[in-house]
Structure 1
Amino acid sequence: MVVVAGINARNAVRSARISGYSVCAVAKYCDEDLKLYSDEYYRFGEINEAVNLVVRLCEEKNTFAVLTTGLEKLLREVKKKVEVAGNFNRKCLDKLKFYRELDRAGIVYPELEPDAGKLILKPRFGGGGVGTSFLGANLDVDDSDKSKYDKSKYIVQRYIEGETVSAIVLSNGRSAKCVALNRLLSGWKEMNARGFLYSGNVTPLENSRFGIDFSRVRRISEEVASLFDVEGCCGVDMVAGKNEIFTLELNPRIPGSLDSFELSYGVSLFDLHVKVFEGKLTPEKINLKPKRVACRAVYYSPGRVRAFISPHNPFFADIPSWGEVFEPFQPLVSIISTGKGSLNKVLERKKFLERLCLKVA
């Protein structure tokens, strides 16, 4: 058995299950399909509650843990007490420190505190586009909202026009291998995603209007993973402009592109993560090829609604409880599609969802 823990751990729990593990899930959101894939599941409220819960379950079951979305910062604390499959340099969790390390290594990233141009305000901690927004070039501050510009919490960065790419990298601390490139979707209006909110992935990334040098993107992602001593799986987000590739962030755990990757490549990323971390598989020996195009899109609530979605419907994932109420713009469900025209299929399934599965609350 393995303990898999995260704010939303459904996709990692599923991946562990198809790898042959019995799974004890620990999550803030215990979706209906998470319950289907896990042997046991436990819910936590505040993030700090997860530490004691994960440690207790690992000790009771004499097993190890894998920490996923939202629990990366707990790695050091949990690792003091039980075995955790995964490791990384904590500097990557603070974007300001992250960019300083990139600067020392000569890896390009969007300029910080530029004097002019299209600018972005971004939280130093966290991910998924939460709290990220555009700024005017003069950085005028509204007196009623000065806390937004607290430099201990935020950074200001140049906005780069280009193709946003998410690389999946496996690393053992000595060598790293990019095993897939994904198109990163953010702020997708058809999914009711505001600003830069994470909206999903399409795997593999096959073409780009910016003429991306895929081999260079892969190489940069491997350099970033190695620079921050990643052991296991991670995601490196980049934006490829017309003349340069800019590194945005490192997610030092199994990334959100897990669903689209596994549907595309037909292998368990969880299994690869554990084997690389344990030294049973070296990254350079991994050679995978996609079998199909796949997409996972995150659908946000269009208003105050109740959701009625079967956990057995193959078009959807992260299924909420029957009749659960969602407020406007809360993440509600993931929409899954495969094959050519995967984005159009997502939009078709969105119509089905809104017509038959959502009711005004």
Structure 2
Amino acid sequence: MERLLIVGANTRPVAEAAYDLGFEVYSASYYCPVDFDFYHERRCILKQGPLRSSGRFHERFRSFQLSDLAGDFLDEVDGIIVLSGGFPEDFPPRKIIGNKRTRRIENKYTLYKRLRRRFKVPVTYKLDDMEEAWEIQRQEPEKRFLIKPLWGSGGFGVSFLSNVREVSRGSFILQEFIDGLHLSASVLSTGRDAITVLTSRQLIDTSIGVWEGNFVYVGNIVPAPYPEIKEIGEDVIRSLSLLGSNGVDMVLSSRGVYVIEVNPRIQGTFECAQLSLGVNMLSAHISACEGELIDEPLRKRYAMKRIVYAPFRCQVGDLNFLRVYDIPCRDSIIEAGEPVATLLDSHENLNILRGNVRRSFGKVIGTLTPIG
């Protein structure tokens, strides 16, 4: 296999790993960062330019756009990696490297029904009427509930029922809120055997601009020193017969470990795993899909990822400095609550790492010019 197509909302990290492995890289993505140089050919949905608004991802993006964008590549490539934002069902199954069907996993209620008999999961309801949700809350006043979209990732649209003011349209999820640490296990699987290669602490922010009150994912710190989630992650992935690199999101509470969601694809911790473990995680994913698991790697460093969201509508300055990735076009306009860039770093000392990322965060915010 020589030519690899990578499809998703943001393909830069995996494309770079593929390039390092010697693949001829084709990419179809929503975002088109200026620091994305590792490809043979790419196509992007988002077109940025000076004084041009990037708009809002959730208003502009639909997953079918990726298959349309990649259409001309399909006969040219030998394999396809589908990342967040895409569905492998939209591409030729014989070329998919990873899970060939994921909709049954990414539908939160279908996943709940599959897991509830074997794992500790929050009580979850699929509803079509907000009045039903409020009635359940009245019947169970001792619990707090979250409203979640039936589909989606990143925590967008996830908020406390008590904060919801608008009537939902269509089906949605009402889920018991579990208070605790938000953790994740990155698991490699051959479909039968599985190994957790990394655990992480998820960073959640409920104060992101227009998403205020939503449980928005903004990054990870790896590794997370909670070995009890490793075996649970492996058991979940084996029970679902998933293949390659997959993620299991959990909450460690006073009542135990609850399984929240499963990401049946390469996860957002991809670059943190590579920085922390010194392993090309795309190579590990492909090997697992071919039936071979790598030995459990030892942590070499702590690693941290932090997504910077625009605190206001702004014009972007020069972001070409240390630790900053997924850089938008200079002088382009980013709407409030939309991602500006990604911060990545690693260090042997966790406190120094946190300090480095915090300073870089402030530096990025300092380059943003508020505009009306």
Q: Specify if TM > 0.5.
A: yes
**Count of residues in Structure 1 that have an aligned counterpart in Structure 2:** 335
3-state SS of 1:235 partner: strand
Contact persistence 1:310–1:319 (CA under 8 A): yes
Q: 1:37 to 1:5 in 2, by over 3 A?
A: same
Partner of 2:50: none
3-state SS of 2:341 partner: strand
Contact persistence 1:309–1:319 (CA under 8 A): no
CA-CA distance at 1:344 after TM superposition: 2.5
Partner of 1:319: 327
Matching of residue 179 in structure 1 with residue 197 in structure 2: yes
Amino acid at match of 1:199: V
Partner of 1:4: 6
Partner of 1:146: 167
| Residues 1-361 of structure 1 aligned to structure 2 (within 5 Å) | 1-34=3-36, 36-44=37-45, 46-59=62-75, 61-71=76-86, 74-80=87-93, 83-87=95-99, 88=101, 90-104=103-117, 106-113=118-125, 115-116=140-141, 117-136=143-162, 145-147=166-168, 150=170, 152=171, 154-187=172-205, 189=207, 194=212, 195-206=214-225, 212=226, 214=227, 216-279=228-291, 281=292, 283=293, 285-311=294-320, 313-339=321-347, 340=349, 341=351, 342-355=353-366, 357-361=367-371
Q: Which moved more, 1:195-204 or 1:17-26?
A: 17-26
CA-CA distance at 1:337 after TM superposition: 2.3
* Cα deviation digits, residues 42-101 of structure 1 (max 9, x gap): 123643132244343131x24211010110xx3123134x50101155321111110110
Q: Distance in 2 between matches of 1:146 and 1:354?
A: 34
Q: 1:352 to 1:188 in 2, by over 3 A?
A: farther
Amino acid at match of 1:63: D
Partner of 1:209: none
Taking structure 1 as the reference length, what is the TM-score of the superposition?
0.87
CA-CA distance at 1:188 after TM superposition: 6.2
* Cα deviation digits, residues 95-116 of structure 1 (max 9, x gap): 1110110013x21111225623
Contact persistence 2:183–2:251 (CA under 8 A): yes
Contact persistence 1:317–1:333 (CA under 8 A): yes
Partner of 2:53: none
Query: Percent same amino acid at aligned positions?
Result: 26
3-state SS of 1:264 partner: helix
Q: 1:192 to 1:76 in 2, by over 3 A?
A: closer
Contact persistence 1:118–1:159 (CA under 8 A): yes
Contact persistence 2:222–2:272 (CA under 8 A): yes
CA-CA distance at 1:19 after TM superposition: 2.6
Provide the aligned C-alpha RMSD in A.
Answer: 2.2
Q: Which moved more, 1:339-348 or 1:191-200?
A: 191-200
Contact persistence 2:196–2:296 (CA under 8 A): no
Q: What residue ranges of structure 1 are gaps of 5+ in the alignment?
A: 207-211
CA-CA distance at 1:17 after TM superposition: 2.0
Q: Return structure 1 stretches of 4+ with deviation > 4 angstroms.
A: 188-193
3-state SS of 1:225 partner: helix
* Cα deviation digits, residues 227-273 of structure 1 (max 9, x gap): 22211111110001123100010111100011211111111111111
Amino acid at match of 1:102: L
Q: Distance in 2 between matches of 1:224 and 1:200?
A: 23
3-state SS of 1:32 partner: coil
